[in-house]
């Protein structure tokens, strides 16, 4: 299945505008040039540290490439070196003070001590979760002759924890009448590195699988079966090369590898990963963070998806210090995030992501301006 990316963006923009209504949507000035408003964006105060470093989510790697290109155009001579090692590694490197900001597909965890560790790095000040990228996660598979597979969260959970071991299992056959399912062994492929994508998928399975997923959540895959692959690109490549395989990977990587994507039945019939259906899911999400800590709650979307919605979605965050940077680093981080939240969003559609709505851009810019 091939999703039209520009259609996806339009639907997500409309849904996100409803989700984030009330944040404000005053127009931003137009212009261009370093230190002046870039085309369609706010004034960018370029300067400070010339070479920022960042690490984390591989799900946002393609988006980060677009952000860096826009930043270099707005602030000549400045760069961000982004290492897509996975969300877990990004948070650890940020908290250790080894990179200037981290990227994660899930917010900092209080229970795992990530909030405290990040605050210590930030000289005792809280770190903020700033979502810059939204997108769906595909249940991607490779089964010869099967291109229109239907799964439920319950069956997906049983695939990922090894309870279902062949593709012609009666539970799968019941969801796919008339489909010639082979007796091919199921080969689960999972993210071997700690990943916010894994965390989101396990949160989804825990919330929606009617008790079939008892392995818990977190950035480490807990299913106990299958073969691991590093980063989103590695997962997509492994699925493409493995007959009988199934995994979870962000839409842009599934599209790039031309993988088949399962439809999800949440109780109201099979739902394809389309623009309209993802938009319906985004409408059900809420912002639950306090102040400038812009955490999105997706658990409600997972547990009680709207009829006809594609529920498996994620938000990718940049983890930054609210205070505690030196002056040069703070200035450069603010300049980069300003560009990323505005003009950097322009090319995300071509990378398979959903640009931020104007109202949420303003909320992000308020947080970025407050970084000290």
105 in a known ligand binding site: yes
CA distance 18 to 207: 24
Structure tokens at 351: 């990378």
Q: Do 59 and 132 contact (CB within 8 A), yes or no?
A: no
CA distance linking residue 236 with residue 249, whole number of Å:
7
Residue 197 marked as a ligand binder: yes
Alpha-carbon distances, residue 175 vs 149, 156, 168, 213 (angstroms): 8, 12, 11, 19
Number of H helices, E strands in the chain: 13, 14
Residue 109, marked binder: no
Listed as own residue / partner, the contacts of 69-72 with beta carbons closer than 8 Å and 24 or more positions apart are 69/344, 69/347, 70/38, 70/339, 70/340, 70/343, 70/344, 70/346, 70/347, 71/335, 71/336, 71/339, 71/340, 71/344
Q: Is 58 annotated as a binding residue?
A: yes
Cα→Cα distances 295→4, 108, 129, Å:
28, 9, 6
Distance between CA 246 and CA 141 in Å, rounded? 4
Question: Is residue 338 a known part of a binding site?
Answer: no
> What is the largest distance, in Å, between two alpha-carbon atoms of the chain?
64
Cα separations in angstroms, 280 against 197, 285, 309, 316, 358: 20, 10, 5, 19, 19
What six digits make up the tokens of 79? 């760069």
β-pair partners for 53: 81
- 196 annotated as ligand-binding: yes
Q: Which residues are annotated as a binding site?
A: 57-59, 87, 105, 195-197
Q: Which residues are annotated as a binding site for phosphate?
A: 57-59, 87, 105, 195-197
């Amino acid at each position: 299945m091939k999703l039209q990316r520009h259609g996806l963006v339009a639907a997500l923009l409309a849904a996100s505008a409803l989700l984030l209504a009330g944040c404000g949507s005053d127009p931003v000035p137009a212009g261009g040039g370093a230190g002046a408003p870039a085309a369609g964006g706010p004034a960018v105060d370029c300067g400070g540290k010339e070479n920022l470093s960042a690490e984390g989510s591989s799900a946002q790697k393609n988006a980060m490439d677009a952000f860096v290109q826009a930043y270099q155009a707005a602030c000549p001579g400045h760069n961000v070196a982004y290492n897509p090692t996975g969300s877990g590694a990004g948070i650890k490197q940020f908290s250790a003070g080894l990179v200037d900001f981290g990227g994660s597909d899930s917010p900092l965890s209080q229970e795992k001590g990530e909030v405290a560790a990040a605050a210590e790095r930030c000289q005792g000040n809280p770190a903020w979760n700033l979502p810059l990228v939204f997108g769906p996660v595909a249940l991607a598979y490779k089964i010869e002759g099967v291109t229109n597979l239907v799964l439920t969260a319950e069956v997906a959970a049983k695939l990922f924890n090894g309870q279902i071991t062949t593709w012609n299992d009666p539970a799968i056959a019941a969801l796919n009448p008339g489909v010639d399912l082979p007796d091919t062994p199921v080969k689960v492929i999972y993210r071997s590195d700690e990943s916010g994508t894994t965390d989101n998928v396990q949160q989804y399975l825990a919330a929606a699988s009617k008790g079939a997923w008892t392995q818990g959540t977190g950035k480490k895959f807990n299913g106990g079966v299958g073969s691991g692959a590093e980063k989103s690109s590695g997962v997509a490549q492994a699925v493409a090369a493995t007959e009988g395989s199934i995994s979870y990977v962000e839409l842009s990587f599934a599209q790039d590898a031309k993988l088949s994507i399962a439809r999800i039945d949440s109780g109201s019939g099979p739902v394809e990963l389309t623009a309209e259906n993802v938009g319906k899911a985004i409408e059900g999400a809420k912002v639950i963070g306090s102040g400038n800590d812009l955490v999105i709650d997706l658990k409600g979307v997972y547990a009680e998806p709207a009829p006809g919605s594609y529920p498996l979605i994620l938000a990718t965050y940049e983890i930054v210090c609210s205070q505690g940077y030196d002056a040069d680093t703070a200035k450069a981080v603010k300049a980069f995030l300003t560009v990323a939240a505005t003009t950097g969003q322009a090319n995300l559609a071509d990378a398979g992501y959903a640009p931020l709505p104007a109202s949420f851009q303003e909320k992000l810019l308020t947080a970025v301006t407050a970084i000290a």
